[in-house]
Amino acid sequence: MRLVLVGPPGAGKGTQAQFLAAHYLIPHISTGDIFRANLKAGTPLGEQAKSFMDRGELVPDSVTNEMVKDRLTHEDAKNGFLLDGFPRNVAQAEVLRDILAEKKTPLHAVLEFALGDEEIIARLSSRRTCRDCGGPSVGLDKCPTCGGEVYQREDDKADVIKRRLEVYTEQTAPIIAFYRNADLLISISAVGSVEAITDQAKSALKNVAQ
Ligand code: AMP
């Protein structure tokens, strides 16, 4: 299964991505996670991404596209992958289409998690993230997955959330029409329990030809 998840920040893409990747036995490729891991490790890529991430802006396409192109050549992505947080604009969607066309391995589906603005802000401002595994946590002092220490991401603070939402509306939301036109889009609501949304996602993906 070659799958892309799309949705506003806070829609629960990362959480659902973990479940879906485990279900379909494909790697979960999150560009945000790769950037954060590079930041933590102090690599040049992390340095390049930092100022954009801190402001809630997109890291330039030249940097992001190369990173994804390289990641898709890894052995574990041979039989499919789940992209979370990429593409984030139409230019990236076109680059992804071309990379996959060259390998003759087009996408099977793009799953959209739909969520209203008020719910997004409420979720992001109460979200905490685990320093160890990167997993989300709401209203807990410790990570529910690994027990690690949780913190508020710099970009989950109020002014940056506002900018991330603007960036989503202006730059990312147009990819929904792009994928609808390509007949790849499947939309589900991001409201409900984690389990209910995973079930909805799985049943929506059952009808996708692989
Ligand atoms: P995320 O964890 O997906 O919310 O991503 C966190 C931040 O990483 C974003 O606000 C961007 O600054 C950067 N980022 C992640 N994915 C991309 C992408 N596809 N293109 C550009 N920047 C990205």
Tens digit of pLDDT for each residue in 9-31? 889 999 999 999 999 999 999 99
Ligand 1 contacts CB of residue 24 (under 6 A): no
pLDDT tens figures, 71-92: 999 999 999 999 999 999 999 9
Chain-centroid distance, C-alpha 104: 24
Residue ID of nearest Cα to ligand 1 atom 8: 32
pLDDT above 90: residue 122: no
In this prediction, residues 105-133 reach a mean pLDDT of 91
**Right CATH number for 2-203 from 1.10.10.10, 3.40.50.920, 3.40.718.10, 3.40.50.300?**
3.40.50.300
Indicate the SS3 state at residue 29.
Answer: strand
Q: Which atom of ligand 1 is nearest to the CA of 164?
A: 10
N-to-C CA span, the chain: 6
The tens digit of pLDDT for each residue in 168-189 reads: 999 999 999 999 999 999 999 9
Contacts of 209 (CB under 8 A, 6+ apart): 108
Long-range contacts of 179-187 (CB under 8 A, 24+ apart): 179/4, 179/6, 179/93, 179/110, 179/112, 182/97, 184/107, 184/108, 184/109, 184/110, 185/109, 185/110, 185/112, 186/109, 186/110, 186/111, 186/112, 187/111, 187/112, 187/114
- Residues with catalytic roles: 13, 88, 127, 153, 164
Q: DSSP alpha helices (H): ranges in the chain?
A: 13-24, 31-41, 44-55, 61-71, 90-102, 117-126, 158-167, 174-181, 194-206
Q: What pLDDT, on a 0 to 100 scale, did the predictor assign at position 192?
A: 92
In this predicted structure, the answer to whether residue 118 has a pLDDT above a threshold of 90 is no
Q: Tens digits of per-residue pLDDT, 128-161?
A: 999 999 988 888 889 999 999 999 988 888 888 8
Per-residue pLDDT band for 37 (boundaries 50, 70, 90) equals very high
Mean pLDDT of all residues in 116-125: 86
Q: Which pLDDT band, with edges at 50, 70 and 90, does 58 fall under?
A: very high
Pairing of strands 81-84, 28-30: parallel
Distances (CA, A) of 141 to 12, 16, 157: 19, 22, 17
Mean pLDDT of the chain: 94
**CA distance linking residue 39 with residue 46, whole number of Å:** 4
The answer to whether residue 209 scores a pLDDT higher than 80 is: no
pLDDT score recorded for residue 208: 86
CB 20 within 8 Å of CB 201: yes
Task: Determine if ligand 1 sits within 6 Å of the CB of residue 18.
Answer: no
Of the chain, the percentage scoring pLDDT greater than 70 comes to 100
DSSP state of 149: B
- Looking up tokens 């690994």 gives 146
- Which residue puts its alpha carbon closest to atom 9 of ligand 1? 53
Indicate the domain borders of the chain: 2-203
